[in-house]
Amino acid sequence: MSDYNAEDVRNIALVGHAGSGKTTLVEALLAATGVISTPGSVTKGTTVCDFDAMEKELLHSLDASITSFDAHDKHVNLIDTPGYPDFLGRSISVLPAVETAAIVINAQSGIEPMTLRMMKAADNRNLCRMIIVNQIDAPEVDLAQLTDQIRETFGAECLPINLPAEGGQRVIDCFFQPSGEGADFSSVAEAHSRIIDQVVEVDEALMEVYLEQGQELKPEQLHDPFEAALREAHLIPICYVSAATGAGVNELIEIITRLMPNPSEGNPPPFLKGEGADMSPVSVDPDPGKHAIAHVFKIINDPFRGKLGIFRIHQGRITAQSQLYIGDARKPFKVNHLYRLHGAEQIEVPEGVPGDILAVSRIDDIHFDAVLHDSHEEDHFHLSSLECPVPLFGLAIHPTKRGDEQKLTDALHKLESEDPCFHVEHNATANETVMRGLGELHLRVLLRRLSEQYHVEVESHPPSIPYRETITAPAEGHHRHKKQTGGAGQFGEVYLRVEPMERGAGFEFVDAVVGGVIPNNFIPSIEKGVRQVLEEGAIAGYPMHDVRVTVYDGKFHPVDSKDIAFATAGRKAFIEAIEKARPVLLEPIVKIRITAQGTAMGDLAGDLSSRRGRINGSDSKSRGRIVIEGEVPLAELDGYDARLKALTGGEGTYSIELSHYDTVPANIQKQLADAYQRAED
């Protein structure tokens, strides 16, 4: 039996920008609770969570890592996440495993891009949130001003629950025992009053006791409304710590264990049952006596330990003898070994309760986002999908050594199974295998893994840009396919119309045939011919999107009509209609965020303009930095990493995410269409 129950579990994901000190904070928490004897060092490569060789080399987390500690009779699972924008997907993917996202902010650097993105991601996931301001003892920090910026950026519901004192050398509690003095800014009494006022607003009865009867409220009376305020995002507490010195760490542990929600107090996980349009919400209860339901939020392919599936239990118990189904699989697998993770270490445990984060190994069919369960009543359960950024950075690759093609394919498949923002695609037109990620560092790390972990050497070059084709006007097309070869012939005649749809609408096929002029069994063949053109393109060999095709008339022959005849007629009628429908090429336009010293603003703006880009705004940050936000065609960013380093003396960084698709200039469309035609000829 487990020595704790679901009410004793706290699940916390530490998220935020690179350099905010998340990994060092984990070390401080583990040391303060006796899990480790002394805190490890990121610079020395001795931390629990940064155990990978590349993480030790780069001095930054590259993947999410899991550990835990026990304090105040509570079991706390911690997930340390990477802070580079290139690994945003690996940070977002762990959010379904926790009730609370702790956004860590570097007191010197302030609110940075990943701070904003992870706060938004946690909000989208309806998680309870807290803010941890780290490095409060750093020189020349203005914590009062930073607190004002936090409240201005994220809302007035962000309130200090403790305050720094003596220049960040210690922290004063403002909630449990609000009697300290000497805060570096504000006052304990003011902070206590503001946070109590915020909490009682969600409980009318308690508000009446507090305001009308003037009674002093104890922390125990405030527990339930405090949880409600967290669930409703009516309160986001701010805590102050110095992970390096330990200031505020014990206070943080008390806040986590006494105030952060357990699995029954957080917002319920958004489970759905069914497939496609038939999916509907379903309730999952952290009751250990019900059927077991767990969600796989992380996959690790280890060359020595095999495939590791890391999951969060949402309902029921899972033991080392459980029989579990993966999704709607008919055959279960047996859990022979159940592990709790402590960084790289796997600790075998006999069972897990709701809220536990555990792992199983060497189960080949387990995959990211799978739902594990022990009863067919939970077949077709899903957790609502994550809003991960679209991977746009690309590299076309091929193995250096002939004969390694299958080895490369297998390795890429394993890497893709681990990372929701790493995709592999094959461009048939250019005969390219393209790996796509969120940034240059993201792909560089994966290339090293191909070499060092899977022993596959590759050569790379910039890939083709993922253009799209579409139409801008309605039109009609017709084709009669007739072929006689001596025996039974081929006959099919198709009339169809095409019309543009809204950007992002995809494709719609409409059967408007009446009177049986085309038998129903041939309609799918016509759609097959149309879809062939959609995949191959009609202007420059790129996929066609946002088109509605309506088949409304045609003819058939009782003997000669065949599937192939109507597929051919549908394809050629569609091509004819496209030629009349003013077809255009679309190119991906990306949002770009550039961080650099303010002195480089003019050069960066001029360079972006030369790339057909535009600046939408800029924001001054601490230490003379500036953040520029704009839009630019993805095709114009080839070689931008090197150009940015040249313009900023190596200090500039940037990240991109897909904004929308827009029409390419006429001269570029002509170049691409002419090149495609020459290749076809």
d(CA 461, CA 639): 11
For the stretch 202-241, pLDDT in tens is: 988 888 888 776 667 888 889 999 999 999 999 999 999 9
Task: Please indicate, yes or no, whether residues 570 and 421 belong to a single structural domain of this protein.
Answer: no
Task: Please indicate, yes or no, whether residues 519 and 592 belong to a single structural domain of this protein.
Answer: no
Cβ neighbors of 305 (< 8 A, separation 6 or more) are 346, 361, 362
In a domain, 673, yes or no: no
> How far from 429 is each of 173, 405, 425, 542, 629, CA to CA, in Å?
64, 19, 12, 8, 34
Task: Please indicate, yes or no, whether residues 516 and 427 belong to a single structural domain of this protein.
Answer: no
Of the candidates 529, 555, 581, which is a domain's last residue? 581
Looking at residue 409, its amino acid is: T
Identify which of 487, 292, 435 has the alpha carbon closest to the alpha carbon of residue 371: 292
- Write the DSSP string, 513-561: --TTSS-GGGHHHHHHHHHHHHHH-SSSS--B-SEEEEEEEEE--TTT-
Output Rg (C-alpha) for the chain, integer angstroms. 29
d(CA 233, CA 127): 8
Task: Please indicate, yes or no, whether residues 96 and 220 belong to a single structural domain of this protein.
Answer: yes
Task: Please indicate, yes or no, whether residues 53 and 82 belong to a single structural domain of this protein.
Answer: yes
**DSSP assigned state of 277:** G
In a domain, 254, yes or no: yes
Task: Please indicate, yes or no, whether residues 83 and 179 belong to a single structural domain of this protein.
Answer: yes
Task: Please indicate, yes or no, whether residues 93 and 13 belong to a single structural domain of this protein.
Answer: yes
CATH number at residue 238: 3.40.50.300
Of the candidates 565, 581, 597, which is a domain's last residue? 581
CATH number at residue 609: 3.30.70.240
In a domain, 266, yes or no: no
Is 369 within 8 Å of 325 (Cβ atoms)? no
In a domain, 484, yes or no: yes
Task: Please indicate, yes or no, whether residues 161 and 299 belong to a single structural domain of this protein.
Answer: no
d(CA 549, CA 212): 67
Look up the pTM and report it: 0.82
In a domain, 265, yes or no: no
CATH number at residue 508: 3.30.230.10
In a domain, 264, yes or no: no
d(CA 533, CA 542): 10
d(CA 84, CA 19): 9
d(CA 287, CA 96): 18
CATH number at residue 287: 2.40.30.10
In a domain, 1, yes or no: no
Of the candidates 234, 259, 284, which is a domain's last residue? 259
In a domain, 388, yes or no: no
Q: Which domain holds residue 486?
A: 469-581
d(CA 173, CA 239): 10
Task: Please indicate, yes or no, whether residues 109 and 245 belong to a single structural domain of this protein.
Answer: yes
| Ranges under pLDDT 70 in the chain | 1-2, 213-215, 428-430, 485-487, 681
Phi-psi region for residue 46, left (φ > 0), alpha (ψ -120 to 50) or beta? alpha
What's the domain count of the chain? 5
d(CA 331, CA 320): 18
Res 275: pLDDT:
86
Task: Please indicate, yes or no, whether residues 309 and 275 belong to a single structural domain of this protein.
Answer: yes
Task: Please indicate, yes or no, whether residues 55 and 150 belong to a single structural domain of this protein.
Answer: yes
Report how far Cα 612 is from the mean position of its chain's Cα atoms: 29
Task: Please indicate, yes or no, whether residues 162 and 206 belong to a single structural domain of this protein.
Answer: yes
Res 304: pLDDT:
77
The SS3 call for residue 600 is helix
